[in-house]
């Protein structure tokens, strides 16, 4: 073994310590970088030289830089994170609906229905007069306005969700394209057999953002790229991304149609997995538009039943007229003729003064069953409020439970890939001492060379 071999072995220690310090410095610099995985220098011994008395070591070398991560945990994190965004969006929408509809004891449609029947009950108590008719008119106007306002607010919620759906699909496309670009960058960077750790971190962060929008499957290839699959359809393959488009189907009877998401040039419909976008779709179709359908059904029944009785009455102008116009909560209004002439509010079928049989029947409708379960109109609407309040409470529980699952996974992943300043400080000291020791060995070898040269 020559002095040159000792020198090379010592220099390898210095190079290795320098690489370790570089890795440590990189970790410390990226301690606050989102998605960064702590890196660790992997070290191996060089093959030694054979001598008559055995192998003598020839120093050490860096064999690679490893990302400290757990692919299984990261995959679970993507899946569970998608569930959390799904539950969170559903909870937000249910809360918004609950806020719009109001409470059982508060104002709104429920209170307006009670006031409407109460004013008819007052009118049904002889003698009927102009003041009582004005009271019926005012309570009816308020009821129509409450229906109109609630329908408008629900439609506004639906419009807001429409915008979020279109925006969400746009965000998804942007991230899918970014994953495809990173696939190409990783493929190029790793052509020389090195691992592009930082690029892989960036891609993993993007995949987490994609998973928050829609649940995905990620399949790795041997060349370092990944394929992204949504509900069985590959939307990213190596450096190519298949963008999604969103369009609204034509609804029936003037009602809003459902959204359809398609992929590829042929526009094949694709079902997005559980995540933010699917929660937006379900929130819109099942919750908001579902609530609007139920509200319209209550309003339409109310309009039909009141009109059915009121046209049977007699007034100073002859036969009774339609009390309400419109067919749903959005367009429900008091008949203009009744608004202009409150005397057209019928109280009797025969028109005799003091007879309020019709007014009594209308007032009694407050206790009339209007569905197979024996619910009154007021109870039907109150049931809607209670139903959404109950669903909102259940949804909030799901969010809280899922947050615990995600938090547990985050902690486990962070304990593995997170940067610990104490650990990096210890590594820094270790590599510095190793560098100093190797440098000292180089100095010793130089002194030995000098001694040798002096002997020649």
Give the pTM. Answer: 0.85
Contact 288, 93 (CB under 8 A): yes
Nearest-angstrom CA–CA distance, 143 and 258: 30
DSSP run (H or E) holding 263: strand 259-263
CA-nearest of 260, 246, 280 to 87 is 280
Nearest-angstrom CA–CA distance, 207 and 352: 77
Long-range contacts from 324-327, C-beta under 8 angstroms, 24+ separation: 324/140, 324/144, 326/299, 327/300, 327/303
Q: What's the token pair of residue 161? A: 């969700």
The predicted pLDDT at position 20 comes to 95
Query: Could you report the average pLDDT of every consecutive run of 10 residues in the chain (456 residues)?
Result: 80 93 95 93 84 78 92 93 94 91 73 91 85 93 94 93 94 96 94 88 95 93 94 92 86 68 81 90 91 90 93 82 94 94 88 83 87 81 86 91 95 93 95 93 85 77
Q: Which neighbouring-strand residues pair with 184?
A: none
What φ, ψ does residue 269 adopt, rounded to 5°? Answer: -65, 140
The predicted pLDDT at position 28 comes to 96
Nearest-angstrom CA–CA distance, 88 and 276: 8
CA-nearest of 73, 76, 82, 81 to 414 is 73
Exposure string (b/e) for 128-149, b if CB count within 10 Å is 16 or more?
beeebbebbbebbebbbebbbe
Pairing of β 259-263 and β 244-248: antiparallel
* Helix (H/G/I), strand (E/B), else coil: 268: strand
């Amino acid at each position: 073994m020559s002095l040159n071999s000792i020198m090379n072995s010592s220099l390898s220690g210095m190079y290795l310590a320098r690489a370790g310090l570089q890795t440590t410095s990189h970790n410390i610099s990226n301690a606050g970088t989102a998605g960064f995985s702590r890196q660790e220098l992997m070290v191996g011994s060089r093959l030694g030289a054979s001598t008559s008395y055995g192998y003598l070591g020839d120093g050490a070398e860096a064999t690679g830089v490893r990302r400290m991560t757990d692919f299984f945990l990261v995959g679970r994190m993507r899946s569970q994170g998608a569930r959390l965004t799904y539950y969170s969006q559903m909870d937000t929408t249910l809360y918004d609906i609950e806020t719009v509809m109001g409470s059982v004891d508060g104002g709104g449609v429920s209170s307006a229905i009670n006031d409407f029947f109460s004013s008819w009950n007052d009118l049904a108590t002889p003698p009927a007069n102009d003041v009582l008719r004005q009271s019926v008119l005012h309570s009816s106007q308020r009821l129509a306005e409450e229906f109109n306002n609630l329908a408008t607010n629900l439609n506004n919620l639906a419009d807001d969700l429409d915008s979020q759906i279109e925006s969400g699909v746009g965000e998804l496309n942007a991230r899918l394209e970014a994953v495809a670009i990173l696939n190409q960058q990783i493929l190029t960077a790793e052509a020389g057999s090195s691992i592009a750790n930082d690029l892989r971190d960036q891609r993993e962060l993007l995949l987490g953002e994609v998973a928050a929008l829609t649940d995905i499957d990620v399949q790795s290839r041997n060349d370092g790229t990944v394929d992204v699959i949504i509900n069985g359809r590959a939307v990213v393959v190596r450096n190519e991304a298949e963008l999604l488009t969103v369009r609204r189907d034509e609804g029936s009877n003037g009602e809003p149609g459902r959204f359809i998401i398609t992929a590829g040039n042929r526009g094949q419909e694709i079902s997005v997995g559980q995540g933010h976008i699917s929660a937006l779709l379900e929130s819109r179709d099942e919750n908001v538009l579902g609530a609007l359908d139920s509200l319209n059904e209550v309003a339409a029944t109310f309009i039909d039943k009141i009109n059915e009785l009121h046209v049977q009455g007699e007034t100073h102008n002859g036969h009774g007229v339609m009390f309400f116009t419109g067919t749903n909560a959005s367009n429900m209004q008091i008949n203009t003729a009744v608004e202009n002439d409150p005397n057209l509010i019928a109280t009797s079928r025969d028109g005799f003064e003091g007879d309020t049989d019709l007014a009594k029947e209308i007032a009694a409708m407050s206790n009339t069953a209007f569905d197979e379960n024996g619910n009154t109109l007021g109870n039907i609407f109150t049931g809607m409020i209670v139903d959404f309040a109950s669903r909102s409470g259940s949804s909030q529980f799901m969010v809280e439970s899922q947050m615990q699952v995600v938090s547990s996974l985050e902690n486990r992943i962070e304990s593995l890939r997170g940067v610990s300043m104490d650990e990096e400080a210890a590594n820094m000291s270790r590599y510095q001492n190793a560098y100093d020791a190797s440098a000292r060995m180089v100095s010793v070898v130089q002194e030995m060379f000098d001694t040798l040269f002096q002997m020649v």
